[in-house]
Structure 1
Amino acid sequence: MKYTKEQRLDIGHRIYDGEITKYEAARQYGISSSTARDYMRMYRDENQLSPKKGPQLFREKKLIQERTKSEPHNLEAYESMSKDELIQELIKARIAEARLKKGYEVKGDGSVIRYSSKNTK
Structure 2
Amino acid sequence: MKYTLEQRLDIGRRIYEGEITRFQAAQEYDISDNTARNYMWLYRDINNLPHKKGGRKNSITKVKSSPSIEVKRPNLEEYESMTKEELIQALVQARITETRLKKGYEVKGDGSVIHYSSKNTR
TM class by shorter chain equals 0.3 to 0.5
TM-score (norm 2): 0.47
